[in-house]
């Protein structure tokens, strides 16, 4: 299953779009994967928009908020204000506010938002939009659509965050209402709790609120940063991460083009991650886990050179990620990890995480959030989002594939209140040529199949539908971002609960909409659990894919799997 017959020199990409569009689904997947592997999709010029956003808007506005600080020395006195405690606090508050406005993860054309580049406040501040309540069905708070209470509390929280940002000092009295409202809004809509980055921004906000005395909040923030690095590294201890490296580096606008083919075992016939990709993955895994221990060693020994080395290590690590176009474009978060790392560790070497033993109750709450929740989430991923589990960019995500019958039933989504149309509708408005349009839609298959986590689809797709070509493919993450106003790789947001939320409004008929939900692989677990849902009948089937069985498979379906995907067409013939 590793390779097919060697490709002839006259059968290499780029391919005629008509050939790709008219090919059976398994062959189409093979052709688009080869097309993507042959190209360097992103150029530095493409990233100018994003880096302009980061430096001139995100960082520029943070500098503006800092100008309200008491004793502000003036913008050009960088050394006197950029790494102060108040500047760090405002960076945390602004990061949360920025995400809740919709300007962060899931923003822009790199996230398939071509018309109206973001949802955010245009969704969260609008009555009637879809939400995912924590307690579905409970009166007032458990509806599937926003009411005046939902909108009012979201707007109030944003207003209170802005109040903190324009204040001369960030005090617990100012933070308390925001800290509470983030949790309340998370009960009303689970999406908002994840948007606010509960596991990071909200936890540190809690430290700044509850540990203000004696600056113990710095130790709490250090502990948070440390466990983020630890868990993010631990979660990459899997078979998925090499395909993430392969995908990200081929996408990376600054990764040397002459090295890109070496990311694959043998281009174009074997597009599994090469030894080079595995080596890069191992290096990244070890580097990330080692960061907090290097910094802890520096703290306990007081050695400034070890401290400087640790700071350079995390700066290089997060800069490398940010410059190579990670899926979802969480570059703001990587910028904050760098800035926060220097602020907390380099400029406050005296603050020890062991000082938190002075506040055992709060330390216990921190350890619950930073240790217990991620531990449970890594071993039982079906119960915890990948964000609280801190399984960042590990390639092992829950995801969903939404399959709409090609009978125009996607128009039923127009009944939903949302900020924009689906990505397919956006492309239809941008690409007039039918073949080019269908080719662009086919290229959306690449991300899912090139990642190792796509292999369970080989088993789930034939169970879900008789002939895949009778259905239009929609990535759950992108579709969920359109319907919910935000997306950042969390499959729990765009699966069964979202299907149940929209079905009473859209009224799909039996067989018109099938959803395949694939759960993350548990840490050290052998399988990925998948389920198939119909909009009317509910769960139709489920299974567990033993991932070791597919290590030798190419990203595209072959053999019996390929035949099963077109069995309806074969029967008709």
The answer to the question of residue 262 being in a domain is yes
CB atoms within 10 A of CB 148: 8
Asked if 371 and 448 count as a contact pair (C-beta separation under 8 A), the reply is: no
Distance CA(260)–CA(251), nearest Å, equals 9
pLDDT (0 to 100) of residue 305: 97
In this structure, what are the phi and psi dihedrals at residue 149, rounded to the nearest 5 degrees?
-65, -45
pLDDT (0 to 100) of residue 346: 97
| Judgement on whether residues 379 and 418 belong to the same structural domain of the protein | no
Question: What's the total number of domains in the chain?
Answer: 2
| Judgement on whether residues 377 and 418 belong to the same structural domain of the protein | no
Distance CA(389)–CA(377), nearest Å, equals 5
| Judgement on whether residues 302 and 327 belong to the same structural domain of the protein | yes
pLDDT (0 to 100) of residue 46: 64
Vertex 222: Cα angle to 306 and 190 (nearest 5): 140
Asked if 291 and 314 count as a contact pair (C-beta separation under 8 A), the reply is: yes
Cα–chain center distance at 554: 25
Asked if 310 and 263 count as a contact pair (C-beta separation under 8 A), the reply is: no
| Judgement on whether residues 459 and 520 belong to the same structural domain of the protein | yes
| Judgement on whether residues 301 and 260 belong to the same structural domain of the protein | yes
Q: Pick from 328, 360, 390: which residue ends a domain?
A: 390
Q: Pick from 346, 361, 390: which residue ends a domain?
A: 390
The answer to the question of residue 114 being in a domain is no
| Judgement on whether residues 415 and 381 belong to the same structural domain of the protein | no
The answer to the question of residue 329 being in a domain is yes
What lies within 8 Å, CB to CB, of 509 at 6+ separation is 409, 535, 536
Q: Pick from 372, 390, 408: which residue ends a domain?
A: 390
Residues of the chain below pLDDT 50: 2-3, 570-573
pLDDT (tens digit, 9 = 90+) per residue, 87-115? 999 999 999 999 999 999 888 887 888 88
The answer to the question of residue 339 being in a domain is yes
The answer to the question of residue 441 being in a domain is yes
Phi-psi region of 282 (alpha: psi -120 to 50; beta: other; left: phi over 0): alpha
**Residue 411 C-beta-side C-alpha neighbours within 13 Å:** 4
| Judgement on whether residues 270 and 338 belong to the same structural domain of the protein | yes
| Judgement on whether residues 319 and 233 belong to the same structural domain of the protein | yes
pLDDT (0 to 100) of residue 567: 65
The DSSP element (H or E) to which 66 belongs, if any, is helix 59-66
Asked if 430 and 422 count as a contact pair (C-beta separation under 8 A), the reply is: no
pLDDT (0 to 100) of residue 573: 42
> Which token pair is 305?
């050179």
> Which token pair is 288?
């990330």
| Judgement on whether residues 344 and 463 belong to the same structural domain of the protein | no
What lies within 8 Å, CB to CB, of 375 at 6+ separation is none
Structural domain of 495: 397-572
| Judgement on whether residues 312 and 403 belong to the same structural domain of the protein | no
Vertex 359: Cα angle to 355 and 361 (nearest 5): 135
pLDDT (0 to 100) of residue 561: 80
Asked if 467 and 567 count as a contact pair (C-beta separation under 8 A), the reply is: yes
SS3 at position 496: helix
| Judgement on whether residues 386 and 401 belong to the same structural domain of the protein | no
Cα–chain center distance at 91: 21
For the whole model, what pTM was predicted?
0.95
Cα dist from 159 to 93, 97, 152, 164, whole Å: 12, 9, 10, 9
The answer to the question of residue 62 being in a domain is no
The answer to the question of residue 124 being in a domain is no
Q: Which residues pair with 266 in a beta bridge?
A: 270
Distance CA(376)–CA(372), nearest Å, equals 6
The answer to the question of residue 556 being in a domain is yes
| Judgement on whether residues 353 and 452 belong to the same structural domain of the protein | no
């Amino acid at each position: 299953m590793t390779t097919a017959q060697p490709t002839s020199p006259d059968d290499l990409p780029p391919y005629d779009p008509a050939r790709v569009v008219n090919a059976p689904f398994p062959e189409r997947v093979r052709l688009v994967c080869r097309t993507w592997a042959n190209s360097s999709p992103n150029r530095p010029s493409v990233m100018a928009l994003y880096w302009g956003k980061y430096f001139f808007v995100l960082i520029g506005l943070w500098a503006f908020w800092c100008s309200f600080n008491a004793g502000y020395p003036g913008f050009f006195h960088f050394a006197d204000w950029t790494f102060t405690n108040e500047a760090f606090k405002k960076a945390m508050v602004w990061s949360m506010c920025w995400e809740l406005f919709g300007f962060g993860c899931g923003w822009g054309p790199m996230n398939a938002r071509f018309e109206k580049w973001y949802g955010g406040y245009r969704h969260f501040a609008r009555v009637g939009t879809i939400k995912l309540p924590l307690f579905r069905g409970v009166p007032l708070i458990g509806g599937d659509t926003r009411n005046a209470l939902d909108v009012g509390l979201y707007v109030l929280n944003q207003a209170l965050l802005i109040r903190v940002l324009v204040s001369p000092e960030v005090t617990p009295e100012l933070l308390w209402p925001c800290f509470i409202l983030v949790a309340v809004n998370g009960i009303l809509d689970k999406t908002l709790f994840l948007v606010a980055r509960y596991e990071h921004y909200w936890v540190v906000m809690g430290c700044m609120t509850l540990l203000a005395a004696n600056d113990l909040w710095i130790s709490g923030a250090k502990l948070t940063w440390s466990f983020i690095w630890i868990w993010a590294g631990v979660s990459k201890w899997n078979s998925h991460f090499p395909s993430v490296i392969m995908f990200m580096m081929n996408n990376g606008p600054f990764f040397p083009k002459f090295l890109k083919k070496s990311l694959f075992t043998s281009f174009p016939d074997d597009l599994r991650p090469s030894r080079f990709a595995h080596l890069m993955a191992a290096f990244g895994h070890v580097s990330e886990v080692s960061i907090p221990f290097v910094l802890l060693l520096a703290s306990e020994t007081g050695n400034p050179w070890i401290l400087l080395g640790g700071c350079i290590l995390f700066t290089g690590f997060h800069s490398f990620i940010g410059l190579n176009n990670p899926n979802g474009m969480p570059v703001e978060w990587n910028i904050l990890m760098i800035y926060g790392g220097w602020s907390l560790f380099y400029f406050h070497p005296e603050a020890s995480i062991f000082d938190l033993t002075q506040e055992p109750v709060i330390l216990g709450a921190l350890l619950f959030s930073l240790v217990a929740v991620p531990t449970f989430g890594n071993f039982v991923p079906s119960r915890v989002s990948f964000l609280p589990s801190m399984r960042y960019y590990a390639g092992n995500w829950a995801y969903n594939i939404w399959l709409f019958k090609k009978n125009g039933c996607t128009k039923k989504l127009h009944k939903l209140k949302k900020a924009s149309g689906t990505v397919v509708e956006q492309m239809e408005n941008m690409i007039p040529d039918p073949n080019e349009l269908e080719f662009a839609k086919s290229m959306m298959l690449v991300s899912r199949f090139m990642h190792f986590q796509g292999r369970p689809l080989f088993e789930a797709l034939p169970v879900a539908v008789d002939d895949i070509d009778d259905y239009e493919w929609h990535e759950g993450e992108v579709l969920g971002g359109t319907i919910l106003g935000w997306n950042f790789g969390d499959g729990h947001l765009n699966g069964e609960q979202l299907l149940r939320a929209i079905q009473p409004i859209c009224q799909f008929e039996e067989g018109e909409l099938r959803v395949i939900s694939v759960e993350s692989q548990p840490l050290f677990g052998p399988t990925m659990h998948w389920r198939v849902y119909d909009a009317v009948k509910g769960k139709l089937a489920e299974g567990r894919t033993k991932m070791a069985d597919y290590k030798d498979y190419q990203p595209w379906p072959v053999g019996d799997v390929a035949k099963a995907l077109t069995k309806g067409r074969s029967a008709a013939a």
